[in-house]
Structure 1
Amino acid sequence: MTTDRTTEALPDSPASAPLLDLQALVVAVRRRRRLWCSMALLGLLAGAAAAVLLRPEPTAVTKVLVTHQADQPNDTGTLIRTDVELLGTTRIAGRALKSLKSTEKPEDFMRDYRGTGLTNNVLEIEVTGESDADAVARAEALADAFVADHVTRMREAAEAESQALLDQRDRVQGELDEVNKSIGDRTPESDPAASASLESLFARRAELNSRIADFDERAAQARTGAPQVLAGTQIVDTPRAVRHSLPRAVGTDAAIGLALGLVLGLGLAAVGTVVADRPVLRREIAAGLGASVIAELRHPPRRPAGRWQRRRTRAARERLTRSLARAVRDGTGPVSLLELGCARGTGAIALDLAGALTAQGPVVVVDGLPDRRLAGLRPKPGAPAVVTAERAAAVPYETRRLGVGSAVPGTVWADLQHLGTRTVLVVRAGHVSTAWLHTVARQLADQLIEVIGVVLLDSDRRDRSDGTLWDGPRTVRPDRSERPARPSGAGLPRTERPPMPAARIPDTEQEAR
């Protein structure tokens, strides 16, 4: 019993096509280098201009050592954050303005400075002003106002704590006076009947004396601890103006602008490439048009090129002309060149091809381009004649005609057959979408116009894809226990040569005979 083997998905089938071709994306982004280079240059200039035009205001900075009565080694910065918030109050801003004898409102002055807690006990104050001297004066006044406010608060807190302890001591002293008054001059020996009550009074007096001594000691410690806190809070870094280096700022901002512009440009180029879906690789263009790429040529430069570049371009155009001339001579019927996004290059190729064909007889170039680009040129001595499509009917029958037309959107497809029954498509890479390539191939097939091949202009130099289509059958290697499947997809265009079919091994001795 034999079983039919299911044909596997081929690499170039639509089902196995990748959702995003990274090679095509990289090539398309590299081709749009003008966009992202312009964006990078724009970001560079914008960053440099921002550094020059948006120069920072004169700034002064100072550092204050702040000591707290409740300082703990494991403090998470709560106290210094409290000091930062207290710095941004109208009370301290008003004191600083008062020392400066300024009429500015404290609310407005608070927007010109800020505090930052560097450590648990170091506060940095940054102040802006109209000039460096003004900024330094304002920073000094603000630091003095903060230190004075902190010292005042610490002193008031110490005095309040000491006074509370002294008040408790006075209250206990009053109780002690009452106990002493109750004891009087009595002793347990003089009054044996009241010895028990006297002993309790003596114990109470001893307790009260101990509490009074404790309150005195704590009040003394509170008064003694305040001077340490007050003396520890001071300005440890005198106010100084912050020096801003303009070249460094320009370099930093320009580098940041360059990076941001480059990233933005690459992102726009990638998104535009994916959205536009304009093929740039040889295999994509060949698959879209259903014809092989027979030649490649760089786009004619608009500026005068160098000697080496002119020689290289001239050699490539001569090879292309010889190849097209052979294709035209080997076939029958008029031939046309149809452009897709490269009318100027197509016209130059047509004139070169017509000049190469004049050796075998008279040649007339029929200009079917929308703007009559070739018909408006001044003919050179010995060059083939150029006529418009309306005057093509007057050309003698024995004269070879070479049509030049366009297949861009808006083309009248029925007019292309009058230019030639065979055509060579001259396509500029990355100019039209995949959908339009399919439209051109379908319309040419409907008009019974044979596509000889595709000439690719302005292609990527690093493109290593194959632009040749193969119409061979697609086969799969059979197993020994199965019969080979029927070749599927025969006649479909491929961009790679199909594998050779493997020899079938006979299953039985009878089959071998």
Structure 2
Amino acid sequence: MTTSTTAESPAATPLLDLQALVVAVRRRRRLWSATALLGLLAGAGLAVLVPPSPTAVTTVLVAHAEDQPNDTGTLIRTDVQLLQTTKIADKALRSLKSPEKPEDFMADYRGTGLTNNLLQITVTGDSDAQAVARAKALADAFVADHVQRMKNTAQAEAQALLDQRDRMRDELAQVNEEIGGQSADSDPKASASLESLFARRAELNSRIADFDERAADARTGTPQVVAGTEIVDLPRALRHSLPKAVVTDAAIGLVLGLVLGLALAAIGVVVADRPVLRRDIAANLGASVIAELPRRSGRPWRRRRIRLTRERLTASLARTARGSTEPVSLLELGCARRTSVIALDLARAMAAEGPVTVIDALPRPYLAGRRPKPGDPTVVGGERAATVPPQERRIGLGSVAPGTAWTDLQYLGTQTVLVVRAGHGSAAWLHTVARQLADQRIPVIGVVLIDPDPRDRTDGTLWDGLHTALRGRSEWPARQTGGGTSHAVQAVGEGQRRAERRPVWAARGPENDQEVR
């Protein structure tokens, strides 16, 4: 079974990597934690500084002539909308003798349908007494308006029935006149006409009686509606609990702040496109992740674990530097101070085998201006790199951040280890670093990842460029002759190096391949 060294095609790359998105958002927990905390404090402060206005509430039982058991609440919703009219508001203000405009008063109250026949009215005011008075006036105005509308409806219905009855009576009188004007003789046609008139009179008498009964029923239905519409819960002021309001508003502010923070973090991750997973960092840089160094922690057990990890990293880099006849440099991206510490530890580990000089070419030197301690190696600035004796081992310390003088990197070391902080550089800049180092013919031994995500389970190993990877150095002794380094390894051409390295980052698009050439 062989492993393909061809990079994934752009079509195989998902449009949105949910795993990387979740990891990046989790790493920005300071942002959304801060927004959640601000939301909590803002909600609590709002409850204290801006207390709710005095509020009164009352409940009205509303009877409808059209009440049906299967009503879905249409009638009570109509009552709620009728409550929010200038007619009701104006009647209530008149009873209060208030000069306030009905439009302004409508903004201070609302109606809520509790059931098909229960209407709750909530009113605010400048004081509890004013709120209670407003609620009472508004409920009375609504009850009076509702009763009056029901009466008018019943009266109009009864009047329509009585008008229809009167028309029937007029027609009956005309029929009676026709019956009185005819004589009963033996003429068959006259007898048939007389029988028709008697039948018509009987029908009219029946319909007149029916209209009388229906009109009486219509008038009888109004007292039921009037008696059934009343205030069942007298207006009362609502008590305001400050602790409850603080807790409620703080919880709402916390949720809103958390949602806003998560949204901002997700948008920032998508826009910035800063790889966090070791898989993405290795793919964009074209070099495998060979070691990791967690962030500093104040917990004792974690400090011990970080110290052991740092010692293993120093030992690994020391073995790499000892097995190479070429100078090695450490180039940082977003972690200059941590890279300086790694370079100093590496120089101390190699000082037992001979003099070691650290060339600090960082934009802001951390080691060049540092007071040396006993046993520390010699540290010189980048401008004095040419004065270092050739027999001494050199460890270059530089940066690949924006603004780097790329042509000066080859004087720090002909091969390098990139020290990159996870989530610092964008994918485009990681591609730029890989292209610039390839143009300068500086092979990348590997990547040391600073502050990796502890839940990252992706693989940061690339299975090409074996001649530069640390895992490939285990094959060198088999090809060595005597005690020296294999000439075959040192004779690998730069074109072959670039040909093996190029597919890792240049196969993502023909435009990148053109830039390398």
Tell me the TM-score normalized by structure 1.
Answer: 0.78
**Matched AA of 1:269:** A
**Contact 1:471–1:493 under 8 Å retained in 2:** no
Gaps of at least 5 residues in structure 1 are 1-6, 474-489, 496-513
* Secondary structure class of the residue paired with 1:425: strand
**Any residues of structure 2 matched to 1:229-248 within 5 Å, and which?**
229-248=225-244
User: Larger deviation: 159-168 or 247-256?
Assistant: 159-168
**Matched AA of 1:18:** T
State the shift of 1:239 in Å: 1.8
Question: Which of 1 and 2 has greater Rg?
Answer: 1
- Structure 1 residues 309, 145: closer, same or farther in 2, change over 3 A? same
**Contact 2:37–2:254 under 8 Å retained in 1:** yes
Q: Find the counterpart in structure 1 of residue 332 from structure 2.
A: 339
- Structure 1 residues 166, 328: closer, same or farther in 2, change over 3 A? closer
* Secondary structure class of the residue paired with 1:123: strand
Residue 13 (structure 1) aligned with residue 8 (structure 2)? yes
Q: Find the counterpart in structure 1 of residue 401 from structure 2.
A: 408
From 3, 20, 27, give the equivalent of 2:23. 27
Q: Find the counterpart in structure 2 of residue 147 from structure 1.
A: 143
**Matched AA of 1:66:** V
- Structure 1 residues 392, 127: closer, same or farther in 2, change over 3 A? same
Q: Distance in 2 between matches of 1:209 and 1:113?
A: 54
**Contact 1:287–1:493 under 8 Å retained in 2:** no
Q: Find the counterpart in structure 1 of residue 511 from structure 2.
A: none
Q: Find the counterpart in structure 2 of residue 469 from structure 1.
A: 462
From 27, 37, 41, give the equivalent of 1:45. 41
- Structure 1 residues 206, 10: closer, same or farther in 2, change over 3 A? same
* Secondary structure class of the residue paired with 2:367: coil
Q: Distance in 2 between matches of 1:207 and 1:440?
A: 105
**Per-residue displacement from partner, 1:1-30 (whole Å, max 9, x unpaired)?**
xxxxxx998895325743144433333232
* Secondary structure class of the residue paired with 1:94: helix
**Contact 1:369–1:404 under 8 Å retained in 2:** yes
**Contact 2:3–2:463 under 8 Å retained in 1:** no
Q: Distance in 1 between matches of 2:117 and 2:76?
A: 6
**Matched AA of 1:309:** R
* Secondary structure class of the residue paired with 1:452: strand
**Contact 1:300–1:345 under 8 Å retained in 2:** no
From 268, 272, 292, give the equivalent of 1:272. 268
Residue 387 (structure 1) aligned with residue 380 (structure 2)? yes
Q: Find the counterpart in structure 2 of residue 365 from structure 1.
A: 358
**Per-residue displacement from partner, 1:147-196 (whole Å, max 9, x unpaired)?**
22222333344445545555666666677778888999x9979xxxx999
Aligned residues: 466
**Contact 1:183–1:198 under 8 Å retained in 2:** yes
State the shift of 1:216 in Å: 4.3
State the shift of 1:395 in Å: 3.1
Tell me the TM-score normalized by structure 2.
Answer: 0.77
State the shift of 1:347 in Å: 0.8
Q: Distance in 2 between matches of 1:414 and 1:209?
A: 118
State the shift of 1:472 in Å: 8.8
**Per-residue displacement from partner, 1:479-504 (whole Å, max 9, x unpaired)?**
xxxxxxxxxxx956999xxxxxxxxx
**Matched AA of 2:102:** P
* Secondary structure class of the residue paired with 1:126: strand
- Structure 1 residues 357, 89: closer, same or farther in 2, change over 3 A? closer
Q: Find the counterpart in structure 1 of residue 418 from structure 2.
A: 425
* Secondary structure class of the residue paired with 1:240: strand
**Contact 1:292–1:468 under 8 Å retained in 2:** yes
State the shift of 1:446 in Å: 2.8
Q: Distance in 1 between matches of 2:434 and 2:163?
A: 105
* Secondary structure class of the residue paired with 1:295: strand
* Secondary structure class of the residue paired with 1:424: strand
State the shift of 1:109 in Å: 1.9
Q: Find the counterpart in structure 2 of residue 499 from structure 1.
A: none
Q: Distance in 2 between matches of 1:338 and 1:48?
A: 48
Q: Find the counterpart in structure 2 of residue 314 from structure 1.
A: 307
- Structure 1 residues 470, 238: closer, same or farther in 2, change over 3 A? same
State the shift of 1:367 in Å: 1.4
From 428, 440, 444, give the equivalent of 1:435. 428
**Per-residue displacement from partner, 1:52-92 (whole Å, max 9, x unpaired)?**
44443222222222223344445454443443333333333
**Contact 1:469–1:494 under 8 Å retained in 2:** no
Identity fraction in percent: 72
* Secondary structure class of the residue paired with 1:239: strand
- Structure 1 residues 96, 465: closer, same or farther in 2, change over 3 A? closer
**Matched AA of 2:326:** G
- Structure 1 residues 455, 196: closer, same or farther in 2, change over 3 A? closer
Q: Distance in 2 between matches of 1:202 and 1:284?
A: 104
State the shift of 1:213 in Å: 4.5
Q: Distance in 2 between matches of 1:8 and 1:323?
A: 26
State the shift of 1:127 in Å: 1.7
* Secondary structure class of the residue paired with 2:232: strand
**Matched AA of 1:268:** L
- Structure 1 residues 145, 419: closer, same or farther in 2, change over 3 A? same
Q: Distance in 1 between matches of 2:94 and 2:11?
A: 79
State the shift of 1:345 in Å: 0.7
Specify which structure has the higher proportion of helix: 2
**Any residues of structure 2 matched to 1:12-411 within 5 Å, and which?**
13-14=8-9, 17-19=12-14, 20-162=16-158, 213-300=209-296, 305-411=298-404
Q: Find the counterpart in structure 2 of residue 502 from structure 1.
A: none
Q: Find the counterpart in structure 1 of residue 472 from structure 2.
A: none
**Contact 2:5–2:464 under 8 Å retained in 1:** no
Gaps of at least 5 residues in structure 2 are 467-498, 505-517
User: Larger deviation: 265-274 or 340-349?
Assistant: 265-274
**Contact 1:286–1:292 under 8 Å retained in 2:** yes
- Structure 1 residues 142, 394: closer, same or farther in 2, change over 3 A? same
User: Larger deviation: 269-278 or 341-350?
Assistant: 269-278
State the shift of 1:134 in Å: 1.6
**Per-residue displacement from partner, 1:242-264 (whole Å, max 9, x unpaired)?**
34444334333333333333333
**Matched AA of 1:409:** P
**Matched AA of 1:271:** I
**Contact 2:6–2:503 under 8 Å retained in 1:** no
**Contact 1:59–1:126 under 8 Å retained in 2:** yes
Q: Distance in 1 between matches of 2:300 and 2:157?
A: 95
- Structure 1 residues 442, 109: closer, same or farther in 2, change over 3 A? closer
**Matched AA of 1:406:** S
- Structure 1 residues 414, 177: closer, same or farther in 2, change over 3 A? closer
User: Larger deviation: 26-35 or 257-266?
Assistant: 257-266
